[in-house]
Structure 1
Amino acid sequence: MPHAPALVVGSLLGRLPYGMSSLCLVLFIVAQTGSFGAAGVVAAAAALAAALGAPLLGRVIDRRGQTTVLLAAVAVHTAGLITIVAVGRADAPVIVLAVLAAVTGAATPPLSPCLRTLWPVLLGDRGAVRTALALDALVIEAVFIGGPLAVAVIVAIASPSAGLLVAAALALAGTLLFAVQPPSRDWRGSARRGRGPSPLVAAGIRTLLIGAFGLGIVFGTLEVALPAFGAERGQPGIAGVALAAIAAGSAVGGLTYGARTGGTSAGTGTASRGAADVRPLYLALIAALPLAVAPLLLADSVLALLILAPLAGLAIAPLTAAENELAGTVAPPGTVTEAYAWMLTALVGGVGAGNALAGALVEAAGWRTALAVACGCALLGAVVTLARRRTLTPS
C-alpha cells in the first residue's frame, strides 16, 4: 500500500477543519455580534448546506471520479472561509454571513466518503477493510481532538478569525495532497444502469440516516452549549478543551472497537455475515449514546465538565465505524460513495439542526436545557432505529 500513508495524512489535514470550523464560526460570530442565537444561525447554515451538498458531490464522484470534484470543491470552500472573515470584520449583517457560510459548507470536500471507498480497492480483504474503517474513525477522532484544541490555542493567542484562516489553509493543503494520489486519481465508481438507483432506495440506509441525524444533533448542540458554559465562567476557550476531551474518550472507544472487531470477519467473504456481525453492536452503541452524554448535565464546574467529557465520547467512534460498515453493506451496488455521503449528510444535517436549536435554547433557557433536548432527540433516534433493526440487511 505505497500510497496509503499519503492518503491518510491528506485526509487528516483536510478533515482537521471539521473539528475547527464550526467552533470557530460560533466564537467568531459571538465576538462580532454578542449573540449565541446569531452564531447558531450562521453555523447551522454552514452545516445544513454541507449536509445537502455531500450527497450531490458523492453522486458526481461516483460518475466522474474523485480528483476533479475534490479540487473544485476545495477551491470554493477555501475562498468562502476567507470571505467570511473579511466580511465579518466589516460588520456585515448576519444574513450575509449565513449565505456565505452556506456556500462554504456546500463545498466542503467529501474526503471521508472518498477515503472509505478507496479502502476496499487498497486492501481487498474484508477483515482488513473493517480494521481500516475503525482506524478511519480514530482519524476522525484525532480531528475532533486536535481541531478544538487548536481553536483553543489560536483563540488564546490570536482570535477566532485567525482560526478560520488556519482551517482554510489546512483544508486546501490536505485536499490537494489527497487528490493527487494515484488511487484517488484512478478511482471510478461501479457502473449503473441509466441514471441508476439512489442508495436511499435501501431501507437499511434510511434507518442508518435516522441514527446519524440524532448523533449530529448531539454534536451540533455541544458546539454551542459548551461555549455558552465557558462564557458563563469567563473562559470561552474551555469549549475547545472540553470538545477535545470528548473526542479523546471517543478515541478510546474506537481503539477498543478496532481491537475487538479487527479480525472477526476476515475471510468470511459474505456481505450477509459482515452485516450480521456488526448489527447488534451498532444497535447497542446507538442506544448507549444519549445515556453517555446525559451526565454532562451534572457539570457545575470546569473540572467536573472535563471529568465527564471523555465518558460522553466513549460510544461515538465505535458507533461511527459500525454505521459506516453497515452503510457499505446495505447500499445498492454502484452507490457506495453516495451512500457514505448520505451518512455524512445526515450527521452534518443533525449538526446544523443542533446548532440552530441550541443557539435559540441557550439564549432562552441556558446551556443545560439545550443539552437536555439534544439527549432527548438522540434517544428518540435510537428508539426508531431499534424499531427498524430488521432493515439492516444487505441489499
Structure 2
Amino acid sequence: MTHVTPTPQHASPSTAEGPGLLRIAGLPYFLIAFIARLPFAMMVVGVLTVVVSARGSLSLGGLTSAAVGLGTACFGPLLGAAADRFGQRTVLLVLALANGAMLVVFTLVVYAGAADALVLVSAFGIGATAPQVAPMSRSRLVTMIADRMPQAVRARTVSGTMAYESAADETVFVFGPFLVGILASALAPWAPLVGAAALTVVFVGAFALHPSARAVSLHRGVDGRAPSAVSELFTPRVLIVVIGILGVGMFFGTMLTALTSFMADRGAPEQAGLLYGVMGVGSAILALGVAWLPSRFSLRARWLVFSGILLGGSLLLLRVDTPEMMMLALAIMGIGIGPTLVTQYSFGAARSPLGRSATVMTMLGSGIVVGQSLGAAVAGELAESAGTTSALLLPIIAASVAFVAGLVNWRLSAAEPRVASV
C-alpha cells in the first residue's frame, strides 16, 4: 500500500516545514486546476437542461443524465489507470479534445431531433470521455507530497490537501449548476454545454500541459509498471470507500432534484439553486476546517460523526414544509457532508496500492458522478410520478448509505496499524 498515511494535524498544504506544497506546485497550478474541473460539474445539469428544453421530457432528461454517469463509471477508472501507466499529460490532452467534441456533438444530436437512443449514446460518450480533473489533481498532489516533502510533514499535508480539494469540489459543484442556470437563462439552453466544451479544451488542456503533469510516482518502474497488483484495487478496505463516496454522490443528485421539485411546488423552481447554495457554502467551509481538527479525532471516527450529522439533517426532510425549514435542514446537512467527503478521500489516499493513486482517486471521482447521475434520474422519475414528498425520502436513503459504509469502515479500520491514525 502507499506510504502516504494521512494523520491530520494543524497544518495546511502550504504551511509545512520545508518547501510547502503551494511553492512546489505553484499558484497557477491551483487556479488552472480549479477552473478545469468546472466543466465536469456542469455536465449532468447541462445535459438535463438541454434535453428537457429541446425534447420536453423530464423522464428522458433523467435517463440522459444517468447515461453520462454510466459512461463515467465504465471508463473513468480505466482512464485513471491509463494516467498511472502512461502519465497524465497524454491522457488528459486526448480527453480534453474528445470531451469538448462530444459536448458539441450531443447538443447537435438533441436539437436535430435524432432518436432517443442516439441521444443516450452521445450522453454516454460525454461521460466516457470526461477528464476527471479533480481525481487527477489529488493524485498529482499526493505524488508530489510523497516524493518531494519530508516524511515528518507528509501526513498533515495530505490531510490539508484533501481538505482543500474537497472544498474546491464543493464550490464547483454548487457554482456549476448555478452557471448552467445563468447561461441557459441569459443566452439559450444549449449555451452551458458549448461553454463547457470551450472550458474543457482550454483549461483541461492547460492542466495537462502544466509541468506538474510530468510528476510520476517513484514507485513506478522505468517501464511505467506499478509494483502492486490490480487485485489490490478491489480489497474491502478500498471498495468500502468507493461505496461510501457513492452514497455522497447519490445525496448530491437526489437532494438537488428533490429540492427543485420542492420549490417548483411553491412556484419558484429557479430558487432551488439559491437554497442549495446554503448547504454548499457551509459544506465547503467545514471541509476546509477538517485540516485543523485534532489528530486524536481519528479518520474512522470522523466518517461516522459527520456522516451521522448528514443523516440526522436529512431526517428533517420528513417534516419540512416551508423554504425556511428547508434552509435549516440544508445548513445542518452542510455541516456533515463536506468533512465526510474529505475523510473519504483521505482514506482513498492512504489505501491506494503503490503506484495506483490516480486509479483509486478516479474510482472515487467516478463514484460521485455515478451517484449524482443515478440519484438525479431516480429522484426526477419519483418526483414526477409520486410527488415531492416521496422524492425527499431519497436523500435520506443516500445519507444512510454513507453512514452504514462508515460503520463497516470502522470495523475494517480496527485491523489497521495504529500509526495510520484511522
Which TM-score applies when normalising by structure 1? 0.88
| 1:145–1:245 CA contact under 8 A, matched in 2 | no
Output the CA distance in 2 between the equivalents of 1:238 and 1:17: 22
| Mean CA deviation greater in 195-204 or 6-15 | 195-204
Matches of 2:215 and 2:128 in 1, distance apart? 25
1: CA distance, partners of 2:182 / 2:318:
26
Pair 1:238–1:15, CA change in 2 (3 A):
same
Pairing partner for 1:219 from 229, 252, 255: 252
| 1:84-109 Cα distance to aligned partner (Å, 9 max, x none) | 22221223333222111111111111
| SS of corresponding position for 2:393 | helix
Letter in 2 for 1:180: L
Contact in 1 for aligned 2:144/2:215 (Cα 8 Å): no
2:59 pairs with 37, 41, 46, which one? 37
Match in the other structure for 2:8:
none
1:147 and 2:176 aligned = yes
1:116 counterpart letter in structure 2: R
CA distance in 2, matches of 1:58, 1:319: 23
Tell me, yes or no, if structure 1 residue 23 matches structure 2 residue 79: no
* In structure 2, distance between residues paired with 1:247 and 1:199: 34
**1:165 Cα offset (Å):** 1.5
Q: Deviations over 1:329-378 (max 9, x none)?
A: 12222222111111122222222321221122122112331230331243
Indicate which of 254, 257, 268 corresponds to 1:235. Answer: 268
SS in 2 for 1:92: coil
Q: Does 1:55 align with 2:77?
A: yes
Report the secondary structure of 2:230's partner residue: coil
Say whether the 8 Å CA contact 1:65–1:188 is kept in structure 2. Answer: no
Alpha-carbon spacing, 1:318–1:19, altered in 2? closer, same or farther (3 Å): same
Equivalent position amino acid for 2:88 in 1: Q
Q: 2:205 aligns with which of 134, 157, 176?
A: 176
What is the distance in 2 between the residues matched to 1:294 and 1:101?
34
Q: Deviations over 1:237-261 (max 9, x none)?
A: 3233233332112112213223325
Partner of 2:155: 126
- Work out which of the residue numbers 247, 257, 268 in structure 1 matches 2:280: 247
Instruction: Return the match for 1:11 from 33, 53, 63.
Output: 33
State whether residues 285 and 319 of structure 1, in contact with CA within 8 Å, keep that contact through their aligned partners in structure 2.
Answer: yes
In the alignment, the residues of structure 2 paired with residue 168 and residue 136 of structure 1 have an alpha-carbon distance, to the nearest angstrom, of 23
Pick the aligned partner of 2:307 from 286, 289, 293: 286
**Aligned residue pair count:** 383
Alpha-carbon distance in structure 2 between the residues aligned to 1:19 and 1:377: 19
Residue identity matched to 1:351: Q
Name the CA shift for 1:362/1:285 in 2 (closer, same or farther; >3 Å). Answer: same
Identify the range of structure 1 (41-50 vs 79-88) with the bigger mean alpha-carbon deviation.
79-88
Other-structure match for 2:102: 80
Q: Do 1:249 and 1:310's aligned partners in 2 also have CA atoms closer than 8 Å?
A: yes
- Judge which range, 175-184 or 223-232, deviates more: 223-232
Is the 8 Å Cα contact of residues 80 and 100 (structure 1) preserved in structure 2? Answer: yes
Separation of aligned partners in 2, 1:242 and 1:17: 22
Label 1:343 to 1:85 Cα distance change in 2 as closer, same or farther (>3 A). Answer: same
Partner Cα distance (1:387, 1:260) in 2? 23
Equivalent of 1:164 in 193, 209, 212: 193
SS class of match (1:88) = helix
Structure 1 pair 128/381, CA: closer, same or farther in 2 (3 Å)? closer
Closer/same/farther in 2, CA of residues 53 and 150 from structure 1, 3 Å limit: same
2:355 to 326, 334, 351: 334
Residue of structure 2 equivalent to 1:203: 236
In 2, the alpha carbon distance for the partners of 1:23 and 1:66 equals 27
Question: Once the 2 structures are TM-superposed, how far is the Cα of residue 166 of structure 1 from its aligned partner?
Answer: 1.5
Q: Percent identity?
A: 28
AA matched with 2:188: S
Structure 2 SS opposite 1:160:
coil
Q: CA deviation at 1:380?
A: 4.0
Picking from 366, 381, 394, the partner of 2:387 is 366
**In 1: Cα distance, 2:226 partner to 2:206 partner:** 33
Q: Deviations over 1:35-77 (max 9, x none)?
A: 2211110001001211222110111111100000001112111
Gap regions ≥5 residues in structure 1:
266-275
TM-score norm. by structure 2 comes to 0.83
Stretch moving more, 38-47 or 295-304: 295-304
Match of 1:101 in 2: 123
Task: Say which SS state the counterpart of residue 62 (structure 1) adopts.
Answer: helix
Q: CA deviation at 1:189?
A: 6.8
What is the letter of the counterpart of residue 238 of structure 1?
Answer: Q
Specify the SS of the correspondent of 2:37. helix
* Inter-CA distance 277–387: structure 2 relative to 1 (3 Å threshold): closer
